[in-house]
Amino acid sequence: MIAIVVGVTVLFQAMPVTEEKAQQDEHIAKLQSAIDSADMRNRRLTREVDALQRDPEYAGIIARDRLNLMNEGETILRLEPHKK
């Protein structure tokens, strides 16, 4: 009987710790998702900076796009990202 009482007492003391761990695991998962998203954005921007520094044609395309200009005989297609 004493063992049962001690076992139940330990179980009730461990429950808040278990709930807190679950909340911490959820928080860690959200933070990891944010890190992954930032890492993907960083890689994309790094590629763009590299292309702008090394490829004059790419730099010209970006400049013309931002200034809404086009070369003769050039057709511009704009694709908008899907909005959630």
Q: How many domains would you assign to the chain?
A: 1
Q: What percent of the chain has pLDDT over 70?
A: 98
Length of the chain in terms of residues written:
84
CA–CA separation, 40 and 35 (whole Å): 9
Distance from chain centroid for Cα 63? 27
Of the candidates 25, 5, 39, the one whose C-alpha atom is nearest the C-alpha of residue 47 is 39
Domain contains 19: yes
Domain contains 83: no
pLDDT by residue (tens digit) across 12-35?
776 777 788 889 999 999 999 999
Segments forming the whole domain that contains residue 16: 2-66
Domain contains 73: no
pLDDT by residue (tens digit) across 52-68?
999 998 888 888 888 88
Domain contains 74: no
